[in-house]
Structure 1
Amino acid sequence: MSIKYFLPLVFCTLILASCSRITPDKTPDDTGEVKTTIAAPETTTTTAAATSTNTKTTAAKTKSKTTTTQAVATTVVTVTVPAAYEKKEEPAAEAPTEPDPNEEDKRILKAINELRSNFRYFSINGENKYSFEHYTRDGELLDFKNIENYMVYEAEILPMDRVLGSIADEQDLLEKARNVLITAKGQEYMEWLEKEPKHDPAIEYVREKPPIMAQYYEEYDTWYVYPTSPSWKRTDGEKGVISGWSEFPSFMCIRNSDGKLLGCLLNF
């Protein structure tokens, strides 16, 4: 065989051997001719379907993915800020209070009232707290809280100087106290306090107590002065007393050194 025919034959043999490794898909078409188609490799993803198609058949493969949705519970937590961390408004600064010029007078009045048991004039106003209500000179009802405050109030509103002058003796004191009573309660009151009883002239009566009495408290250098209701008794030893109408107890406290009227309870 001539070499010019041999070389082409070897070359074709090699081509055919190489092609024999591929499996052909031979399908006749409408004209009766056979066509060879090499199928494309199938690819698959988790989100889409992959399709392989030849001349007559289409194959579809689909992978599905199931998604499960779970309910999520929502919890609202309320956080309480401790009081120590809360922002607080600063209280307005209180105006400085002036010292009470009658503080010492009230201290003495309270001490003497305790000695005289004058707290019976208090009224209870809940929770064992005392109150002392009274109308002012202008007709306003006020709670003075205690008897000492009211006694100072009465002394301050009297139309006279509270300092009566130095006291020479007890009789001088009684005269000064008499003037206070006339100023506070009037002349008619004093006439009633000092009057003589109406009785049978054949029977003599004497007054049991003087119209005004006083007791001195040396520890406080103060006189406790009070009027008494008219009362007379027979001098012949027989029983029989004539008493005038009484009133609510009245009293005043006068300092011995200068005669200052510390306080009084005359119009309660």
Structure 2
Amino acid sequence: MTQNAQNTQITLVIGGTGKTGRRVAERLTALGRQVRIGSRSGEPAFDWNEPATWEPALEGVDRVYVTYYPDLAFPGAAEQVGDFAKVAVAKGARRLLLLSGRGEEAAGVAEDNLKASGADWTIVRSSFFAQNFSESFFLDPVLAGEITLPTGDAVEAFVDAEDIADVVVAALTDDKHIGKTYELSGPRLLSFSDVATELSKATGREIKYVSVTNEEYRAVLREHGLPEDFADLFTMILDGRNAHLVNGVEEALGRKPRDFADYAREAAATGVWNV
């Protein structure tokens, strides 16, 4: 395929203003690829809960980066992903890459549904994002100096969203990744107490970790207007299913993943945690 032909293709990036989608869109644009942002504010708009928006968003699209909000573990998500994949393939967007989650049974159903569409697929299974502490629902607790979670002493292999974006872009732009499943993690396991220590070092102020019960955390979520189902996602940390490192970043890119400490230093330098 010629460079000109590649540059006329459109990649739909669902969730293109989110943590990974924004980075993927930026990288594809820098490579000279045409990008369409799939969001409710996009042109045309895309909404997972409004199937009538799917076909207009797929018009002229060759490939799709598929992310699902709030999470593939939520009820109905797997079915919506499968339905969307069928529509995408029918519209000519055969190349689909799904951002999935490590150890999530419901996410595995979504993966199977996407594959069943007949798409040329790649699956990227991710650990918890490091950027959740600077760009998402852990930001306010970090600013307040206290991270309250129902995770005890359990550990997680936090992965940098920059690494996720690099893997996704490599897979979307090189057909050698078709039919591959990459499991991504950072280079070491960290407890949330370890995370608080790293954030304290990066910010120069004390950030504490406070362990609570699942029910206590649900009350915190209700207080902040967030779905209580988010509490259930932490069962993946508590039961240890992801308490080991994987090498998907190295498999896809030929390099080691970035460490959480590097992420923390760079994030702190932006001033996002200044109080």
TM-score by length of 2: 0.21
RCO greater where, 1 or 2, for CA within 8 Å and sep 6 or more? Answer: 2
Q: Which has the larger radius of gyration?
A: 1
TM-score by length of 1: 0.21
Instruction: Name the structure where strand makes up a greater proportion of residues.
Output: 1
